[in-house]
């Protein structure tokens, strides 16, 4: 087993091992005083893995309820949270009881937000089953839901008590969702680790998946441990996300995955950085080639004006200004605080 310890205000471990899914009940019993567990998952994941999680919890004598929601970003709403609250209330959950998020980033974000707000905070475990969730969204304690005006505009910081990563769950993912996760994987090389970026350029991901997951969560662990509530360095994790979120919003959160939108956002920000003298020449082309290697798009039909307008509702805005994440070169990132009215000109090709 590979274990990555997260040093936040509420420390916890990320455990990476094939087959760990079947031992989730033992970890709930060991790490909490729970008697009741609500497992939240979606209708894509449930047929593959829900029975195994229920069986593992049953073996520990835990009382279990489940909530299954329709898969996809369109379910990431306050209405779904209200449905989860109803399950928790009807089950008479107490503060010692816990939730389990079994699924991808949407499931983890929503389950975490429900846990953060029900009874003013109960525990939850992350069992991420998508590559994107395993390398990124399950770690760090960011939870939340979308509004029509933008992504993740309602949320809370709430750390899980454990993250269990079973790489075998990736075997049931369509290629589209492996590519989706690679958007976040490539981001980590861009912002913090040039050697990892080189590795992704030269190696076959599927042959070294545990290494990839461990590197990504270790980078995020280090950043989150130093800046749990995104007051400074943690903003760097948003490379490609400002424009990526804008593209998702313009698409109505349909037709493009989060990782794909982030890939386009990274390319656009790298090109803008080069044009404005912040980024080493050739950086954007390297990102384009790596994105294309893993089946990610590098451009979108959205207009620069549309993206700039959509980005004005991003949670990284502060008054009349916005924090953009740029690269000096691969592996070296920084934030640039820019007036919102200069954003469109900054990213215009």
- pLDDT, tens digit, for every residue of 190-199? 999 999 999 9
Residue 146: closest CA among 239, 260, 258, 262:
258
Q: Mean pLDDT for the chain?
A: 95
Residue 83's pLDDT is 98
Residue 204's pLDDT is 81
| Contact call for residues 243 and 309 (beta carbons, < 8 A) | no
Q: 341: burial class by Cβ within 10 Å (0-12, 13-18, 19+)? A: exposed
Calculate mean pLDDT across residues 115-123.
98
Q: At a CB cut-off of 8 Å and minimum separation 6, what does 34 contact?
A: 28, 62, 96, 97, 98, 123
99 three-state secondary structure: strand
- pLDDT of residue 316 exceeding 80, the answer is no
Active-site residue, selected from the candidate residues 44, 152, 193, 238: 238
- pLDDT of residue 124 exceeding 90, the answer is yes
| Residue 125 DSSP code | E
Catalytic-residue membership of 238 = yes
Active-site residue, selected from the candidate residues 187, 258, 271, 286: 258
Calculate mean pLDDT across residues 45-73.
97
Catalytic-residue membership of 142 = yes
Rg of the Cα atoms in the chain: 19
Residue 207's pLDDT is 79
Catalytic-residue membership of 234 = yes
- pLDDT of residue 217 exceeding 90, the answer is yes
Catalytic-residue membership of 323 = no
Residue 253's pLDDT is 85
Active-site residue, selected from the candidate residues 36, 142, 192, 249: 142
Catalytic-residue membership of 299 = no
Catalytic-residue membership of 65 = no
Catalytic-residue membership of 241 = yes
Cα distances (angstroms) measured from residue 97 to each of 115, 162, 327: 10, 14, 43
Active-site residue, selected from the candidate residues 245, 249, 278, 286: 245
Residue 230's pLDDT is 84
| Contact call for residues 37 and 100 (beta carbons, < 8 A) | yes
Query: How many C-beta neighbours within 10 Å does residue 98 have?
Result: 25
- pLDDT of residue 314 exceeding 80, the answer is no
- pLDDT of residue 317 exceeding 90, the answer is no
- pLDDT of residue 47 exceeding 80, the answer is yes
Cα distances (angstroms) measured from residue 344 to each of 71, 130, 247, 268: 34, 34, 14, 12
Kindly indicate the confidence band of residue 307, based on its pLDDT and cuts at 50, 70 and 90.
very high
Catalytic-residue membership of 184 = yes
- pLDDT of residue 231 exceeding 90, the answer is no
Residue 135: closest CA among 45, 31, 219, 75:
219
149 three-state secondary structure: coil
């Amino acid at each position: 087993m590979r274990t990555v310890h997260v040093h936040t205000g509420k420390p916890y471990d990320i455990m990476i091992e094939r087959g760990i899914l079947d031992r989730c009940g033992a970890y709930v019993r060991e790490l909490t005083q729970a008697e009741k567990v609500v497992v939240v998952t979606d209708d894509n994941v449930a047929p593959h893995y829900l029975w195994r999680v229920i069986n593992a919890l049953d073996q520990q004598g835990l009382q279990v309820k489940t909530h299954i929601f329709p898969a996809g970003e369109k379910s990431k709403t306050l209405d779904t949270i209200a449905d989860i609250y109803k399950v928790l209330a009807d089950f008479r959950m107490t503060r010692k009881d816990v939730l389990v998020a079994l699924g991808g980033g949407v499931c983890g974000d929503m389950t975490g937000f429900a846990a953060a707000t029900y009874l003013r905070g109960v525990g939850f475990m992350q069992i991420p089953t998508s590559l994107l969730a395993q390398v990124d969204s399950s770690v760090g304690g960011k939870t939340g839901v979308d509004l029509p005006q933008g992504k993740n505009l309602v949320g809370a910081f709430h750390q899980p008590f454990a993250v269990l990563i079973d790489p075998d769950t990736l075997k049931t993912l369509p290629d589209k969702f492996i590519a989706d996760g690679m958007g976040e994987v490539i981001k980590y090389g861009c912002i913090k680790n040039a050697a990892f970026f080189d590795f992704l350029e030269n190696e076959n991901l599927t042959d070294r998946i545990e290494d990839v997951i461990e590197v990504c969560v270790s980078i995020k662990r280090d950043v989150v441990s130093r800046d749990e509530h995104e007051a400074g360095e943690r903003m760097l994790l948003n490379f490609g996300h400002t424009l990526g979120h804008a593209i998702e919003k313009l698409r109505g959160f349909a037709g493009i995955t989060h990782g794909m939108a982030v890939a386009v956002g990274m390319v656009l920000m790298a090109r803008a950085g080069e044009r404005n003298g912040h980024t080493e020449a050739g950086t954007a082309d390297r990102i384009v080639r790596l994105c294309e290697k893993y089946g990610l798009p590098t451009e979108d039909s959205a207009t620069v004006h549309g993206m700039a307008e959509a980005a004005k509702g991003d949670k990284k805005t502060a008054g009349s200004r916005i924090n953009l994440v740029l690269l000096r070169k691969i592996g070296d990132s920084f934030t640039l605080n820019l007036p919102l009215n200069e954003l469109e000109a900054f990213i215009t090709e």
